[in-house]
Amino acid sequence: MQLQQWAEQAASQQDWSTALQLIELAAWQEPDNPQILCRWGDWLAAAGQPEEAIAAYQAVLEFQPGCPQSIAAWAAVLNEQGQFAEAIALLDQASEQTADLWHQRAVALQSLGDWPQALTSCDSALQLDPTAAESQFLRSKLRLGLGDWSQGWPEYESRLLVFSELRDRLPSFGCPLWQGEDLTNKTLLIWGEQGYGDQIQFVRYLSVLHDRWPETPLLLLVSEPLVDLFRQLAIANLQVATQFTFETESAYDFHLPLLSLPERLGATADVIPLAQGYLPRSLQSEIRLQANPRQLQVGFVWQAGETSDRRYQWRQASKSVPLEQFLQLRLQVNHCQFWSLQVGPARQSLLQNWDWADCDLADRMHSFADTAAVLNQMDLLITVDTAIAHLAGALEIPTWLLLPKFADWRWSLTGSETPWYQSMRLYRQAIAGDWRSVFEQLQQDLNSRPY
């Protein structure tokens, strides 16, 4: 028992090496203790050892066939690996239903594109445990994706419990969270959250807020790469600064995370504001490309951003396209001049192709304002689902967005258009993991596009 307590203490500090050593000793002392084996599996999964974790869960099921806790944990590992059908088959073996089992079924069904059944599974999870924030958050995204914004946005507030970086930050402002009160003679601080793309997509709601209270001072806190871009927003009484500029001051009456604005403003799916674009095309910049005036200028991005959260790593990876698909596309269309707008470690694979090195623009893009200046010189952007897609849409740059078979909630499940951006066209995988047919369609559409 003492060994297990020490192991729990190490795990609470995310010292997985020590925790695993101690729990292994505890399991050696009590080889028939399923609770110890289950914890061993949980920590192996947390330490990035999924196969070993599954072996631990299998050992538990030898002692307790149908054990809901072990089956739910095993299914979570399968979901993280993208093995959704296998997860559902495993969940069917449970001896009784629990909230965790229903949640893992919902995750698998959502990832397989069966959003209505995933929603039903979330309902079942929350009937058993109404406080399950993960299930609330998943249900909110399903509702939003299915067009039920009246219930989706209020429940989306559950993200403040799911994401520790949001939960921990809420008390730091020293003033109330804005709940929709009258802002006359008040000042509101809005702070950026989640990814860059989320912030670019939802900053449009500041215009709705300003229209409702045109005299109210607004303070927008975002990370450094977004500051110069958002300072170009045509909103009076808006001040934009880096994340920590105002946190030690009391010059505001309320605060609010940015993605809570749709809920507070009563947003509906029927009318999405500023789909025609909301960032100016005339950003001043010294960045100038050596573009061939006889060719179509095409920017491209092939890899989505990475995440350290195991729950979303498979989904992020599924968004990305092999670079070779773009290399082949370049050879098949002669009237386009391609420019790589890929940033991060992924660009190294491009630089290894000597005949592509001169099209790499990453060194010129140090902020999103720089990226906007580059995009303004493009006739077209072809990109996977990452922040630059939202930036191009906000600038009203023609954008072809490449989506996996089962995309994020904001792109729905079908259709080639999106109400978020008028200048954007969606290209969806017909078969999960298969980009070949998508690029065949891209080639046809590029060849028929005038230049």
Q: Is the dihedral of CA 383, 263, 120, 68 positive or negative?
A: positive
CA distance 183 to 180: 8
Domain-terminating residue out of 149, 183, 202:
149
Query: What DSSP character marks residue 268?
Result: B
Do 109 and 29 have their domain in common? yes
Q: Where are the alpha helices (DSSP H) in 320-367?
A: 323-332, 347-351
DSSP lists the bridge partners of residue 297 as: 337
How many residues does the structure list for the chain? 451
Closest CA to 125 of 112, 133, 108, 76: 133
CATH number where 370 lies? 3.40.50.2000
**pLDDT score recorded for residue 46:** 83
Backbone φ and ψ for 240, nearest 5 degrees, come out as -115, 135
Do 386 and 415 have their domain in common? yes
Do 16 and 140 have their domain in common? yes
User: What contacts 224, CB < 8 A, 6 or more positions away?
Assistant: 242, 367
Do 141 and 178 have their domain in common? no
Residue 264's SS3 state is helix
User: What contacts 345, CB < 8 A, 6 or more positions away?
Assistant: none
Do 106 and 218 have their domain in common? no
CA distance 291 to 294: 9
368 occurs within a structural domain: yes
Encoded amino acid at 40, one letter: W
Strands 296-301 vs 380-384: parallel, antiparallel or unpaired: parallel
Do 322 and 422 have their domain in common? yes
278 occurs within a structural domain: no
Do 260 and 321 have their domain in common? no
CA distance 361 to 298: 12
88 occurs within a structural domain: yes
**pLDDT score recorded for residue 248:** 47
Do 128 and 184 have their domain in common? no
287 occurs within a structural domain: no
Going from the first residue of the chain to its last (451 residues), give the mean pLDDT of each consecutive group of 10, the final group possibly shorter: 66 71 69 74 82 90 92 95 95 95 97 96 98 98 97 98 90 90 96 96 98 96 94 94 62 94 96 95 74 93 82 81 93 92 90 81 92 95 98 98 95 96 97 95 90 61
- The token duo for 50 is 């999924």
CA distance 97 to 114: 20
Domain-terminating residue out of 88, 123, 149:
149
CA distance 372 to 212: 28
Do 172 and 125 have their domain in common? no
pTM assigned to the model: 0.93
33 occurs within a structural domain: yes
Closest CA to 371 of 389, 351, 350: 389
Do 144 and 170 have their domain in common? no
388 occurs within a structural domain: yes
Indicate the angle between helix axes 99-111 and 68-80, nearest 10 degrees: 20
Domain interval for residue 347: 296-447
Do 302 and 415 have their domain in common? yes
- The token duo for 295 is 């060719």
Do 83 and 118 have their domain in common? yes
23 occurs within a structural domain: yes
Count of the separate structural domains present in the chain = 3
Residue 299's SS3 state is strand
